[in-house]
């Protein structure tokens, strides 16, 4: 029986797979992830005030808890790579829990320059109620001319 798929002799089954297309797909995915990864770690967009000051020395033991207040006045809690938007009461409760797990963790506040001063003071007061003894304020150095 000779059909279009049976050309007379016995063919050996092919035991190899061409991996070149898989390598091409992996390289494209690698480029895509390399481009998008820095965009994912930006965090909350905050215009920090520009002042000249000495940097705070931090211990390398605990990663700081960063509380941000964005332009709209919304609160964000960042611990390492995790970032979540919270109401002030929820934020205070979370900070209490985090400080119970790791006492002595530094708490830093990033406040947008356009947020009213009273909102930052309210945040700092809530952090004090949560048991934070010292709060650091994050700013940017002024542009050098």
Q: Tell me, what CATH number does 85's domain have? A: 3.30.420.270
Looking at the domain assignment, is residue 19 inside a domain? no
Mean pLDDT calculated for residue range 99-107: 86
Question: Of the candidates 70, 67, 97, which has an alpha carbon nearest to the alpha carbon of residue 82?
Answer: 67
pTM of the model as a whole: 0.58
Digit-coded pLDDT (tens) for 18-75: 889 999 999 999 999 888 877 665 555 666 566 665 655 655 567 888 898 888 888 9
Sheet of 107-111, strands arranged across:
82-86, 75-79, 65-69, 107-111, 135-137
Residue 121 resides in a domain = yes
Between CA 34 and CA 104 the distance in angstroms is 35
Residue at 34 is within a domain: no
Both tokens of 66, joined, read 């960063």
69 in a domain, yes or no? Answer: yes
Query: Region 78-98: what's the mean pLDDT?
Result: 86
Domain count, the chain: 1
Q: Provide the percentage of residues in the chain whose pLDDT is more than 70.
A: 76
Q: Is residue 16 part of a domain?
A: no
With respect to residue 72, please indicate whether it lies within any of the assigned structural domains: yes
- Which domain, by its residues, includes 88? 65-137
């Amino acid at each position: 029986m000779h059909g279009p798929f049976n050309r007379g002799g016995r063919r050996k089954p092919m035991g190899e797979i061409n991996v070149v297309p898989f390598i091409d797909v992996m390289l494209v995915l690698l480029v895509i992830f390399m481009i998008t990864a820095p965009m994912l770690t930006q965090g909350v967009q905050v215009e920090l005030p520009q002042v000249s000051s000495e940097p705070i020395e931090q211990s390398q033991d605990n990663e700081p808890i960063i509380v941000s207040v964005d332009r709209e006045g919304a609160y964000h809690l960042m611990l390492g790579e995790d970032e979540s938007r919270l109401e002030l009461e929820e934020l205070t409760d979370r900070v209490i829990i985090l400080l119970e797990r790791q006492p002595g963790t530094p708490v830093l506040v990033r406040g947008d320059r356009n947020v009213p001063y009273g909102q930052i003071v309210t945040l700092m007061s809530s952090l004090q109620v949560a048991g934070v003894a010292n709060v650091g304020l994050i700013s940017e150095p002024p542009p050098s001319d």
